[in-house]
Amino acid sequence: MEAPRLAQPVLAILFAPLLLGVVNRVKAWVGGRRGPPVLQAYWDLAKLLRKGAVYSRSTTWIFRAGPIVGVCAALVATALLPVGDTPALMGFPGDLILLAYVFGLARFFTVLAALDTGSSFEGMGASREVQFSALAEPALLLALAAVARNTGSTSLTGMMQGISVHAWTTAGPALALVSAALLLVFLAENARIPVDDPATHLELTMIHEVMVLDHGGPDFAFVLYGAALKLWVLGALLVGIAVPVRSGDPWIDAAGFAAGMLALAVVVGAVESSMARLKLLRVPQLLAGAAALSALALILVLR
């Protein structure tokens, strides 16, 4: 196996928490604050890993399994994603299905861990999570189906290799629609504004944050790290399609990819600074809109 294939997992493992730092820095800059250091997420993780733990008396092994499943699922997903032209560590035709479903597994266990506490807050968050993800799933897979049609490939590696400046000039509208749909899925799945507010402090209004209220110490470090990895992986999927830097040189591709990820973090920060979160009842409409965008893209590439 050639070393470049390790690029995506290594980049993700090392730099996933950095992405959060950039987003927060952008938000602080727009808001006129100094904001936390860019490396804050790393300090948080180090602090949490040094702590003990407190478990609720209601909980069972399910509660302790949740954070581990979250991290492992995201790690497996990093092995399925390529960087530019460089193939993925473990890519194969149909790997995008595995990618979608390992995140499904992680969600299933996060939700069960939340229900294990018997807390009504966490039950509420779990209920919202399954509702929104059930609607985001078709948008994600239909968007990838449009890319599959356009590039004639069913593996993420093949799809990313098929995306190029040329593909954007010939099928630009379809790819733009796919990118928009994926951006919405990315924001929803990672609990960002306008679907969920990661900075909120009221249990009643949270989605992702409220599900992990009872986790502490190393468990919470796993939760945070798993969330950062998920942000990275879904972001990398979007950047792979929206940023067509394919030079054949792994270094230039990686540089283009890194620039794309940074730009995505800035976009997320800008979105979070410029708008409030949607009413919970409006979120399904947003996600149905994402699925509709994917379907439109499919119609464009089908002809």
Partner 1 sequence: MSLFFVGIGVLLVGGLLSAAAGRNGPWSGRLGALGAVVGCGLALAPAVGVLGTGVALESRLPWPMPGGSFRVEIDALSAFFLLPILALSALAAVYGTGYLRPAPRPPGAHWLYYNALVAGMALTVAARNGILFLIAWETMTLASFFLVTYDHQKESVREAGWIYMVATHLGTAFLLALFLLLQKSSGSLDFDRLEPGTHAGLLFVLAVLGFGTKAGFLPLHVWLPEAHPAAPSHVSALMSGVMIKTGIYGLVRILTLLGPPPLWWGWLLVGIGATSGILGVLFALAQHDLKRLLAYHSVENIGIIALGLGLGVLGVASGSHTLAVLGFAGGLLHVANHAAFKGLLFLGAGAVLHATGAREIDHLGGLQKKMPWTAGCFLVGAAAISGLPPLNGFVSEFLIYLGAFRAVSGLGTGVAVPAIAVIGSLALIGGLAAACFSKAYGMVFLGEARSGHAEHAHDPGGAMVAPMLVLAAACAAIGLAGPWVVRAIGPAIAALAGPGDLPETGLLGRVSLGAGAFLALAALLAFLRSRLLAGRRVGAAATWGCGYAAPSPRMQYTASSYAQPLTDLLRLFLRTRKHLRQPGGYFPGPSSLETETPDVCRDRIFEPVFRGFGWVLARLNWLQVGQVHLYVLYIALTLLALLIWRLH
Return the residues of window 5-34 that contact partner 1 according to CB under 8 A: none
How many other β-carbons are positioned within 10 Å of the β-carbon of residue 149?
Answer: 16
The stretch near partner 1 (CB under 8 A) out of 37-45, 107-115, 184-192, 246-254 is 107-115
Query: Can you tell me the distance from the alpha carbon of 81 to that of 159, in angstroms, rounded to the nearest whole number?
Result: 10
**Main-chain dihedrals φ then ψ at residue 86, nearest 5 degrees:** -70, 125
List the interface residues with partner 1, window 238-267 (CB under 8 A).
none
Q: How far is CA 161 from CA 36, 89, 112, 249, 274, in A?
A: 37, 14, 38, 13, 34
Give the residue, chosen from 11, 135, 229, 233, that forms a contact with partner 1 under the rule CB under 8 A: 135
Measured from the CB atom, the residue of 10 and 38 that comes closer to partner 1 is 10
Q: Smallest Cα–Cα separation from 259: which of 269, 244, 270?
A: 244
Give yes or no for a contact between 183 and 194, defined as CB atoms under 8 angstroms apart: no
Cα-atom radius of gyration of the chain, to the nearest Å?
Answer: 19
Q: How far is the CB of 200 from partner 1 (least distance, A)?
A: 14
- Binding flag, residue 141, partner 1 (CB under 8 A): yes
- Binding flag, residue 121, partner 1 (CB under 8 A): yes
Q: How far is the CB of 284 from partner 1 (least distance, A)?
A: 5
- Binding flag, residue 126, partner 1 (CB under 8 A): yes
- Binding flag, residue 36, partner 1 (CB under 8 A): no
Q: How far is the CB of 247 from partner 1 (least distance, A)?
A: 25
Measured from the CB atom, the residue of 70 and 256 that comes closer to partner 1 is 70
Q: How far is the CB of 100 from partner 1 (least distance, A)?
A: 8
Give the residue, chosen from 39, 49, 165, 275, that forms a contact with partner 1 under the rule CB under 8 A: 49
Could you tell me the sign of the dihedral formed by the alpha carbons of 233, 237, 238, 240, in that order?
positive
Angle of helix 250-274 relative to helix 217-242, nearest 10 degrees, comes to 110
Measured from the CB atom, the residue of 27 and 230 that comes closer to partner 1 is 230
Total number of residues shown for the chain: 303
Q: Per-residue contact track with partner 1, 54 to 83, x per CB under 8 A?
A: xxxxxxx-x-x---xx-xxx-xx--xx---
Q: Write out the E strands in 210-251.
A: none
Measured from the CB atom, the residue of 68 and 270 that comes closer to partner 1 is 68
Give the residue, chosen from 11, 12, 45, 148, that forms a contact with partner 1 under the rule CB under 8 A: 148
38 forms bridges with which residues in the sheet? none
- Binding flag, residue 111, partner 1 (CB under 8 A): yes
Query: Which residue in this structure is represented by tokens 């893209």?
Result: 297
66 forms bridges with which residues in the sheet? none
Query: Site size for partner 1, by CB under 8 A?
Result: 83
Measured from the CB atom, the residue of 95 and 272 that comes closer to partner 1 is 95
Structure tokens at 140: 């994600």
Provide the 3-class DSSP secondary structure of residue 296: helix
Give the residue, chosen from 95, 196, 253, 272, that forms a contact with partner 1 under the rule CB under 8 A: 95
Give yes or no for a contact between 188 and 195, defined as CB atoms under 8 angstroms apart: yes
The stretch near partner 1 (CB under 8 A) out of 92-100, 240-248, 257-265, 270-278 is 92-100
List the interface residues with partner 1, window 156-215 (CB under 8 A).
203, 213-214
